[in-house]
Structure 1
Amino acid sequence: MFPPINKEEFLNLSNLEKIGWAYDSQDMNREAVARVMTVQKNSYRISDGNIEYLAHLSGKFLNQVTDSLNFPAVGDWVDVHKLQDEQKAVVNRVLPRKSQFVRQAAGTKVEAQMVAANMDIVLIVSSLNHDLNERRMERYLLSAYESGATPVIVLTKKDECAADEVADVMARVEEVAIGVPVVAISNVTCDGIDDLMAHLPAGQTAVLLGSSGVGKSTLVNTLLDRAVQETKDIRAADSKGRHTTTHRELFVLPNGALLIDTPGMRELQLWEGESSMDSAFSDVETFERECKFNDCRHDTEPGCRVREALENGELSEERFQSYRKLQRELAFERRKQDQRAYLEEKNRWKKLKKQRQDHDHFLKKRR
């Protein structure tokens, strides 16, 4: 199943390189660096490639952090003070990230939630049954491009479908995931696993994303060749899954690649993505650029290339409406975030003003 790993080359790697280290900094003290393997509430399990530590955040870190995105996430590299005798560590800072997958936190509060950091590949997992949803996949693709990592789509439960069904679903997916590799696999027969492993080279970090019940935990067990994640059957009536993974965790695969498993998402609320619309919807934006007028609204304007594409079948109405919906959603999120930033700044100045008034009042009383 796995490409053979060169044992001599692996032994020559430093401990950090064995868990994905790829920084160029020569002046960094590597003895004080570790990677976040698991996050559970306020507890962190970190590794330096040799020893695992139970870590907590330093007081200075907690006093200086101003945003939820600045807290350590699975996949992060952190500067730590190790207490080797106790196998504990104190996190002093998070090293700069090369990529990060962020979504709007569930609920009504305007807040970003970090899903994973420093990944090279985003594996968007969906099943080949009737739970597959192209519109949801577009959302994942948009967030994957925005993260800075490379998306790959993994379709599970291949053993439950006929060959012509698999081909039909893959064709549907390829229409919305333009230029993105699509791999169909079976965790039961391991059919397609070799094709998937071709996208997971040694030293690269991938994150698994998708809804509950699509087979992410089972895939982790398959790739590790041992049961490390609990799995449950989906409901046969509607192919809906149940949550089994309750936290995010990074695993080292036998071939030297790294894999972050995440809990299934009921929904993926976008946090950002404006700069990646051209990647996720390259077909739509190409048609837009070919419109006669730069400010074409794709309604009744003459020379509208988008309307032409819709009428002759080059572009589906569902995909175009999804594109517009995501544009509106991103604009709405940006307005909410701007309002939140404005209120936070306003409250900060109110506190500073109050502190100044209290200070002046104190000086007056002393006189």
Structure 2
Amino acid sequence: MKLTIQASDIQADEGRRIISGKILPFGDEIGQTNVGKVKFRAGSVEWDDPKKVKFLLEHDGRKPLGRAQSIMAEEDALYATFKVSATTRGNDALIEASEDLRSGLSVGVEVIDSKQVGNVLEVIKARLDEVSLVSNPAFKSAEVLEVAASEAEAEEAEQPNNESEALVENTTPETVAPEAVETPAVEASRPTVTAMAYTKPRLEITKRNYLANYLKASVLDDEDAKLWVKAADNETTTAPGMIPTPQSTEVLNFLSNADRPLIDSISRGTMPAFGKTFEIPKITGVPTVDQIDENQAIADTQLTADYLVVTKKSFKGRMITTVELIDQSNPAFLDEALRQLEFAYAKDT
């Protein structure tokens, strides 16, 4: 049986990336776990190597924060110190622990021996699997006691620069240091796309307008009409090199195919491997049936057969091509050539 229990006061040191605290109380203190009310006897929890105990976020094995550095069992509780990895999740965990946003420690243990005392499960022996940083501890004492990094920053800010005052006379107004502004959180949002401004084309080139301006330019010698006609003369026929001609890779073939209705309508077998000829049994006469009234005589019919002598013949064809045509063709020349040879064989056989 595995259970998790919240315990503990913790301390967070952002500078050394250390989180430490009481992870499990012993004795009569009762905690709420995933299996109900539980308490642990003193010395009931064991572990092998402290550095193999993982430090997780909310008991999620996919969200590791670091590893234990030391675990110490006292008479009243189990204490541990954890090294937090230098990851984004680790940085967030240190900040949340120092600001009392996520300030509880919770253990995950495998219960080996226990007994039921009333409505409380008393654990006699268990093995420590992992420890997690959680936001809702089961004990009221689960709170951050001290953040060492914050105190060090405050002392450093209060220290005056006496050496500069002793050596250099200050003749300029005192410069007030700008207050530190908290970096705003970066929020991802959908980019705003602004459409370009479109206007109506200046020249509406149609057959009717082209004819009207052509007549004005030719008959009335209108300069504006001449410019209009010159602009309209730029079309697809004047710049064929700019208009590519796409080519489909689908080959149209109306000359041959692999259909053999006569061959497909008769039975087929494997040709003997030896000899130039072979024989196939051939039905020469089949029995017949007629409509016969009651008590009328029935005529006899027969099934007769003979042998059909078949001569073996070879069908061959050759096609010579270059390697360049095979490599550079699209659609593939070799595939189409083999398909056409298949069609030719089907046609002749």
- Same fold flag (TM > 0.5): no
Greater percentage in helix: 1
User: For this structure pair, what is the TM-score category when the shorter chain's length is used for normalisation?
Assistant: under 0.3
TM-score (norm 2): 0.19
Instruction: Report the structure, 1 or 2, having the larger strand content.
Output: 2
TM-score by length of 1: 0.18
